[in-house]
Structure 1
Amino acid sequence: MSKKRREIPVFNHPIIETHCHLDYLRDRPLEDTLEQTQRVNIERVITIAVAPDNLARVRELSALAPWIYGTQGIHPHEAESYSDAVETEIRRHARDEKIVAVGEIGLDYFYDNSDRSVQREVFRRQLQVACDTDRPVVIHSRDADDDTIAILKEFEQSLTRRGVIHSFTSGPGLAEYALGQGWNLGFNGITTFNKAENVRDIVRMTPISQILLETDAPFLTPVPYRGRENAPFYLPFIAEHIATVKELPLEDVIIQTYQNSLETFFPAA
């Protein structure tokens, strides 16, 4: 039996949604989603680029309100659509006022929607963009731990700002390497799933000073709203669950993850 759904908690301290896809939301008008997001004291939202055809849309969304920000980058699923022209566009806008990172980039060997060698090349090229523009990185890694580590090692000295391995579902080896190198790990609704004890184990081993909160909306809706389209305003449930898993006071988790988000994406704030 599923858990009884309840009202979304509202915290006194603001929180930051570090990873969602506003242009993929379908179940309600965007205006309603944004209003509800603000109502639960989410102070900032970062909407993530994934493909050549949504780079400009992310920039448009980031201009809708002062508290909406975006990224520029190509997801490994779309690696075969990467080109010199796409890279030029990412470089041109990586340092825009409302663009806070290069991403979502990385490797995905689970779906293999793009050839693996192409994924690796495109990952390297976009990491170089981040180096050249002094931007943090939003990384996707699925079933590609060894290659993710190997490629990140190539950029240890030149990538001065780290970023996050988002929606972390990888093994402890990648977690240990990333944490040792100063990366954050992003956790979302997966942490609330019954069969995700492996992810909760990673949450337990991750210092609270290196955890970011995200929804990855419209995907991965947390308990108690599984079955509905995810949305940024469900982020408080993830904060609560992280606090439970780590056996920390909820207020401490909220305050620390907020500070982590600022330091990663908004260092001048």
Structure 2
Amino acid sequence: MSKKRREIPVFDHPIIETHCHLDYLKDRPLEETLAESQRVNIERVITIAVAPDNLAKVRELSNVAPWVYGTQGIHPHEAETYTDAVEEEIRQHAGDEKIVAVGEIGLDYFYDNADREVQRDVFRRQLQLACDADRPVVIHSREADEDTIAILKEFENSLTRRGVIHSFTSGPGLAKYALDQGWCLGFNGITTFNKAENVRDIVRMSPIEQILLETDAPFLTPVPYRGRENAPFYLPFVAENIATVKDLPLEQVLSQTYLNSLRTFFSER
């Protein structure tokens, strides 16, 4: 007989899902996913753009409910698809009412799906776009700590709205630089994985005032639901785990990460 998984906890305090990909979810209808997310007190959801062919889809999804928002940006995996026309599309919509950030942008030297020099160029171009639009940034960085720091340093004085390095799995050097510069770090189900002590070490060193909660759904489903498609409604497990790792009251984690999310993405709304 298989062991019954624990039910998803429902907390009194609302939670903001700062990073997911609603257009990638396949296991259930979107309406069902959103209804279940509301049931467990997910107050707002940010769905993230990654490629030219889903920029418009993310804008469409950001309008399916008043509490769903989106971003516009090109992931480093897709850097070689970045063109002047794509940049213009992002620029035109970066200030839309339901678009809260430029992202997901950055560097990925783990998979190297795009030439590294192209990745760096596209990263710089989109950081400049965020500066011009006065928007926060959602950053992806994997196995690229030194170059991520070097490029962010170029924009220290012009990027007035920082943002988040999401799904943080990098080393303490990038973490310290980002935290010192006022960035938030995003943590998800990885923090519940047995072999992710390095990520939990970063959680411990990060002030709770600079932590954001995310799922990165449909990826990285937290324990105890690993093996299933991830979804925003699993976010309570991430919140619980952050509280455990940091040895803080759950209510403090919920209230502070909620305020962090508002400050990062909704300060003008």
TM (norm. structure 1) is: 0.99
- Structure 1 residue 50 and structure 2 residue 50: aligned? yes
Partner of 2:68: 68
Q: Distance in 2 between matches of 1:158 and 1:243?
A: 34
Q: CA deviation at 1:58?
A: 0.1
Instruction: Call closer, same or farther: CA 1:4–1:199 in 2, change over 3 Å.
Output: farther
TM (norm. structure 2) is: 0.99
| Structure 2 letter corresponding to 1:256 | Q
- Structure 1 residue 252 and structure 2 residue 255: aligned? no
Q: CA deviation at 1:11?
A: 0.6
Q: Give the 5 Å matches for 1:135-146.
A: 135-146=135-146
Contact 1:74–1:82 (8 Å) recurs in 2: yes
Partner of 1:90: 90
Contact 1:3–1:224 (8 Å) recurs in 2: no
Q: Distance in 2 between matches of 1:156 and 1:4?
A: 49
Contact 1:72–1:99 (8 Å) recurs in 2: yes
Partner of 1:9: 9
Long gaps (5+) in structure 2: none
Partner of 2:174: 174
2:111 match: secondary structure? coil
Contact 1:101–1:265 (8 Å) recurs in 2: yes
Q: Give the 5 Å matches for 1:199-214.
A: 199-214=199-214
Q: Distance in 2 between matches of 1:172 and 1:126?
A: 25
For residues 148-190 of structure 1, the C-alpha deviation after alignment (integer angstroms, 9 at most, x for no partner) is: 0000000000000000000000000000000000000000000
Instruction: Call closer, same or farther: CA 1:3–1:103 in 2, change over 3 Å.
Output: farther
| Structure 2 letter corresponding to 1:257 | T
Q: Give the 5 Å matches for 1:1-269.
A: 5-269=5-269
1:139 match: secondary structure? strand
For residues 205-237 of structure 1, the C-alpha deviation after alignment (integer angstroms, 9 at most, x for no partner) is: 000000000000000000000000000000000
| Structure 2 letter corresponding to 1:209 | E
For residues 77-115 of structure 1, the C-alpha deviation after alignment (integer angstroms, 9 at most, x for no partner) is: 000000000000000000000000000000000000000
Contact 1:79–1:118 (8 Å) recurs in 2: yes
Q: Percent identity?
A: 85
Contact 1:189–1:238 (8 Å) recurs in 2: yes
- Where has structure 1 moved over 4 Å in runs of 4 or more? none
For residues 229-257 of structure 1, the C-alpha deviation after alignment (integer angstroms, 9 at most, x for no partner) is: 00000000000000000000000000000
Q: Distance in 1 between matches of 2:142 and 2:149?
A: 12
Q: CA deviation at 1:4?
A: 5.2
Instruction: Call closer, same or farther: CA 1:160–1:3 in 2, change over 3 Å.
Output: farther
Q: Distance in 1 between matches of 2:194 and 2:4?
A: 15
For residues 19-63 of structure 1, the C-alpha deviation after alignment (integer angstroms, 9 at most, x for no partner) is: 000000001111100100000000000000000000000000000
| Structure 1 letter corresponding to 2:83 | S
| Structure 2 letter corresponding to 1:220 | L
Q: Distance in 2 between matches of 1:161 and 1:27?
A: 35
Q: Distance in 2 between matches of 1:132 and 1:83?
A: 18
| Structure 1 letter corresponding to 2:215 | T
Long gaps (5+) in structure 1: none
Q: Distance in 1 between matches of 2:253 and 2:139?
A: 23
